[in-house]
Structure 1
Amino acid sequence: MRSGRHALSAVLICAAAMTACTVGCTAASDLPSFEEASRQLDHDADTLLGAGLSGPAVRLLDDETCVPGQVRHAVRAEGDLAGPSDGLLARLDALGYDRVADDADLRDDAEDVAVFRNPRTQVTFELTLRPEDGDGVRVIGRTVCYATG
């Protein structure tokens, strides 16, 4: 069961990366700097998580999904929702994120998943509701991969 969850996350990451590359690779010069995208991710994560998730965010630099010589900024938080999950979805919409994949695309018997991306910064948020954990939710936010140096 756990390997299925990891496989689903891997599929989501690949789908988001391919879509981001389709959009971002053709206009790479239009992307904000790594620092600007990281600040935007942190701001949006704080805004999103302040909307009712009872768990601290863990900020990561250089996750292992980028190729050597690239870096990305990521935020991960898990906890219980203090309110309905549609509050998180509405908050992402208000922050300018577009839904790029949702539960209908990514149905899993144990989890409901939605992926949102900001069209300007290409910052992506993946929301996973875990009904087996009651009101459990996992939020992962990422920038695209940026070349170092």
Structure 2
Amino acid sequence: MSAITPDQQNVLLDKILVERRSHRQFKPEFPPEEDIKGIIHAGLHAPFAAAAMGETENYFRESFVLKKGSKSLRAAASLIFEEVMATASNLERAMERDPELRTYARGFANRLAMIKKMGQVPGVGTAPYFIVVAERKGFPPI
């Protein structure tokens, strides 16, 4: 049992979440396999959309670890980029029809345009590993 009280744990978690930052610059070294397994194990304790749907026997999450430079990551990066471009096109068409959406979605549309100009999704293929956590498609989609 931990000597830290639940209130102290909440304060620590709040501090971690507030100080969290995303950086898309990665060291070229591949971390040990044990570290990757630890990250996946920690992720299994995170909330996920399927928990809000159906019964616990319907839960499904699968983790895929794709290594930088691998054939599977190159294929995934291409598919992810294509999906982002489709989303950008759909959003642009929707924004042309809906002025209110145009107001709210302009920042996101600009980020998608930046990704299109770059020709790749930032972070996909630049880290030593790319971890995908998948859930079963269902209703509503999650």
Short-chain TM bin: under 0.3
Higher helix residue share: 2
Name the structure, 1 or 2, with higher relative contact order (CA <8 Å, separation 6+): 2
Structure number with bigger Rg: 2
